[in-house]
Amino acid sequence: MAAILSNNLGYFFSDQPHAGSDRTAMLDLSGGERSWTYARLESRMEQVGQALQSIGLKPGDRVALIIGNRGEFVELFFGAMRAGVVPVPLNPKQTAAILELMTRDAGCKAVVVDVDAAPDAIALADSLPGLTKVALGAAPKGWTDYEAALAALPARGNFEPAISPDGIAFQSYTAGSTGRPKGVRLTHKGMLWSIRSTQEHWPTAASEIGLIAVPLFHKNAMRGTIKPALYAGAKAIIMPRFEPLAYLQALSRYQVTFSGGVPAIFAMLLQHRDLIETLDFSKLKLFSLGSSVVPQEIIDALEREFKGVKVKESYGLTEGGGPLRDPPGGGKAPRGSCGKAAIGYDVKLVTSDGESGVTEGELWTRSLCVTDGYHNLPEVTREKIVDGWLRTGDIFRVDDAGFYYFMGRVDDMFSCGGENVYPKEVENLLLSHPDVRDVCVAAIPHDVKGFAPAAAVVLREGAQTTTEQLKTFALERGPAYSHPRRIKIVNELPLSGAGKPDRKAVQRELIAYVPATG
């Protein structure tokens, strides 16, 4: 029993001094303000394990979680693991077709649906034969009511903790922006090592308060806030969704000390400078930006507006954890860098020709938390994981001091007349224009060059800059080959479910766009 508890991710903070205490673990801001103490969270996770066993789920069975940002996501996610059941967290905003594909691919035996966040998933679940169905909210006919099921169980009853036979803790799915979504199998052993190593070398204090406004199904929220906060005895505040004014007010009201997310949400914050000036952010120490290209202009602007707050570019991936970090002991990476190789991780850069020991190339990483493989995709597993090394698909350069700088995705980089173009570099250049709020660069066909850069640009409110002025600005300040040949002014950039700019959608839009003439 002791071995199961210490090696099961569902119990990752149960042996810590604060487990079972009256300290506040989570505040849920959906529909008001709901609080979980550590004692309540422990009890609810135990009840989740009991409930899943009582409806017939066995160790190794998969349960799809189609749930919005609310405290129940956390108790279900880790409570399922306590019973050896493997949670499959899915994006409640995803299309029904993709949700069905992932639910079938994972072989889910059960599904938990947040009725308010994903009403369309009700019909989807009803259409899948043999699926045990649990509802958060008003339960449809034939469904198990989540709260009623937990209320019928003792806080600690006849419950046998377990681990899935294959050692898998949970199974996430990649966004599928470059093809079919892939199930990523992540192990108890690897995830526990990551949590414990992070606390040892980059500790979170029990006094910290983290704010989450990005989706809980995504690693940015779980690895960046939920796991380190709960392990340390700190407090996590969960917003149902990101909204700039509510986010700023929550940072101030709850005296938040750190928060993270994708660059797009922080770009939106900067449109509310008047409100920022009136609020108290005296406890705020850190913004962590990641999961997408991080423009240097956004980092600079945040540090100007939030005086004394450290703004860092973080790097991590579903399949391989966080292989790059600030040097331990309070060291800081240079501007534009994601950090050095983290303790316990092996990293190397490899060219497209397979040459290693270079200063620029695709990042490969090896550690205990690298995925066990891609579910039902042995060919992809063999291609992406080579002798334990995960090929990340991300291009970096490394300086003489060992600091790594993200350049872009392997499939984003393109050749323009023989010159390699990294969209991030063009985006950073355009973001240095005072009228540009956000930008996404993609390749479009070119009769002479093969491909050439094009850009979708969001202007600041009231700006009158033209596309021709932006082209001239880029041409005067950057290499001629990398200046955008086509620019489209848009109100907002299309985003993926994880809040990242959808570069493929932008590319399609730019290819189809015919600028007005004369």
Q: Tens digit of pLDDT for each residue in 165-222?
A: 999 999 999 865 445 789 999 999 999 999 999 999 999 999 999 999 999 998 889 9
pLDDT per residue over 298-345, tens digit each? 888 899 999 999 999 899 989 999 999 999 877 788 888 999 999 999
Residue pair 231/12 in contact (Cβ under 8 Å)? The answer is yes
Q: Looking at residues 7-29, what average pLDDT do you find?
A: 96
Among 189-203, 223-237, 473-487, which is the least confidently predicted range? 473-487
- At 18 the pLDDT is 97
- At 386 the pLDDT is 95
Distance from CA of residue 342 to its chain's centroid?
A: 19
pLDDT(134) > 60: yes
**High-pLDDT (> 90) share of the chain, %:** 68
Cβ neighbourhood burial of 284 (10 Å; 0-12, 13-18, 19+): buried
pLDDT per residue over 46-82, tens digit each? 999 999 999 999 999 999 999 999 999 999 999 999 9
Distance from CA of residue 399 to its chain's centroid?
A: 27
Give the integer Cα–Cα distance in Å for 339 and 405. Answer: 8
Say what the pTM is: 0.85
CB atoms within 10 A of CB 279: 14
Residue of 86, 129, 133, 84 whose CA lies nearest to 111? 133
Q: Which domains does the chain have, with CATH numbers?
A: 38-187 (3.40.50.980), 335-410 (2.30.38.10), 414-511 (3.30.300.30)
Q: Indicate the pLDDT class of residue 518, thresholds 50, 70 and 90.
A: very low
Residue pair 453/393 in contact (Cβ under 8 Å)? The answer is no
Q: Indicate the pLDDT class of residue 39, thresholds 50, 70 and 90.
A: very high
pLDDT per residue over 276-297, tens digit each? 999 999 999 999 988 666 777 8
pLDDT(512) > 80: yes
Q: Looking at residues 405-434, what average pLDDT do you find?
A: 83
pLDDT per residue over 355-387, tens digit each? 999 999 999 999 999 999 999 999 999 999 999
Q: Looking at residues 396-425, what average pLDDT do you find?
A: 85
pLDDT(4) > 80: no
To the nearest whole number, what is the mean pLDDT of the chain? 91
Residue pair 482/426 in contact (Cβ under 8 Å)? The answer is yes
- At 171 the pLDDT is 97
- At 177 the pLDDT is 45
Give the integer Cα–Cα distance in Å for 108 and 123. Answer: 16
pLDDT per residue over 440-464, tens digit each? 999 898 877 778 899 999 998 889 8
pLDDT per residue over 245-269, tens digit each? 999 999 999 999 999 988 878 888 9
pLDDT(420) > 80: no
pLDDT per residue over 87-99, tens digit each? 999 999 888 888 9
Give the integer Cα–Cα distance in Å for 279 and 24. Answer: 24
Token pair for residue 428? 């950073």
- At 77 the pLDDT is 98
- At 497 the pLDDT is 63
